[in-house]
Amino acid sequence: MSQPNSATIRKPRTDERPLWNVDLALSGYPAILVAHDLKLFPLLAEKPRTLPEVCEALHIARRPAQALLSVCTALELVQVQDGRYALTLVAEDYLLESSPTYFGAILDFLINNYSVWSFENVKKAIVTDVPQGYGRGGEMFKSHDEQAELARTFTRAMHSTSMGAALAWPEVMNLTGQRLMLDIGGGSGAHCIGATLKWPDLHAVVFDTPPVCEVAQEFIARYGLQDRIRTQVGDMWNDLFPPADLHFYSMIYHDWTPEKCRFLTRKSFESLASGGRLMIHEMLYNDEKTGPFPVAASSINMLVWTEGEQYSGPELAEMLTEAGFIEVEVKPTFGYWSIVAGRKP
């Protein structure tokens, strides 16, 4: 039997970087949660620091400090200037508690629920099509005290992921003539805050469950917008929507099946008067649903936590058209975010 040689063994046609990206992301990305937990980012916000200064401040040895800083620099959260580590603009905008677009609450949520994304849970969700964690459509939103507190925690976490986009999309979408925005499942009120700050003639209502409305009232007061934004307790599945000429859903459709999304679309169409608008704010797949990767990964997230999935622009646009909306458009707004919008004739 002849021995294989370089002429008979097929050489790879590509390099293996995509597989290394998967392999090493599993260890590299969690390190950012550790950096957040150790307060590395506020430390570097005080002043740029050398590696020994970081070691001393965080009480860790040189080797782990170097590994942690290297991951942060590779992900462009930290930069090196003359041998000193400093924050990048991204970190200043999203990783400091003093920033209105602070992302830390969602990082805390990931830390506290990290086991939900175990291999076993992800595999079970894929094989059984049954969520493995609590989500917006699950036990978290029952009325007893423990679940109410979970709802408050989840709402604060979602606020931290929402404010950047909430301050951006009102710059892209023309709300001239709109008088009252109903944010259905509005959570912390982030999008009402962003919209009313940009459009001075606009008022808004956050429509959500009792513990969520409590949190929304805290954020509304923080921005001094109590005279223009109010909350209304309600169940979007069973209660009538209060009067409004703009219905807004952010990160709601991806929690639910296509059938339930169509139900909400029809309900909004029937509730709105002629000329009223519907806007759906989501991270969208491309038309072929082949990416981008963060949106595809978010669909896995939905699989683990909810009964929903991420949608493409054409899928949501079709729901609006089927319900009777006209002038339907899909408009990218900020980062991975887009808005699918339509008007009732």
- Which 3 state secondary structure label does DSSP give 156? helix
- List of domains in the chain: 17-95 (1.10.10.10), 107-343 (3.40.50.150)
Q: How many CB atoms lie within 10 A of CB 160?
A: 22
Q: What's the one-letter identity of residue 280?
A: I
Mean pLDDT score of the chain: 94
pLDDT score for 145? 64
Buried b (16+ CB within 10 A) or exposed e, 46-72: eebbeeebbbebbebeeeebeebbebb
Give 27-84 pLDDT, tens digit per residue: 999 999 999 999 999 999 999 999 999 999 999 999 999 999 999 999 999 999 999 9
Mean local confidence (pLDDT), 316-332: 98
Most confident by average pLDDT, 1-10, 85-94, 113-122? 85-94
Q: Could you tell me which residue, 134 or 65, shows the higher pLDDT?
A: 65
Report the C-alpha dihedral over residues 188, 222, 179, 263, rounded to 10 degrees.
0
- Which 3 state secondary structure label does DSSP give 134? coil
Question: What span, in angstroms and rounded, lies between the C-alpha atoms of 190 and 219?
Answer: 8
pTM, entire model: 0.92
Give 208-242 pLDDT, tens digit per residue: 999 999 999 999 999 999 999 999 999 999 999 99
Question: For helices 62-74 and 17-37, what crossing angle results, to 10°?
Answer: 120
Three-class HEC string of 97-132: CCCCCCCHHHHHHHHHCHHHHCHHHHHHHHHHCCCC
pLDDT band at 5, cuts 50/70/90? low
Question: What span, in angstroms and rounded, lies between the C-alpha atoms of 72 and 75?
Answer: 5
Q: Report yes or no: 269 and 201 within 8 Å, Cβ to Cβ.
A: no
Of 292, 290, 249, 299, nearest to 271 (Cα)? 249
pLDDT score for 239? 98
Question: What span, in angstroms and rounded, lies between the C-alpha atoms of 222 and 96?
Answer: 17
pLDDT band at 2, cuts 50/70/90? low
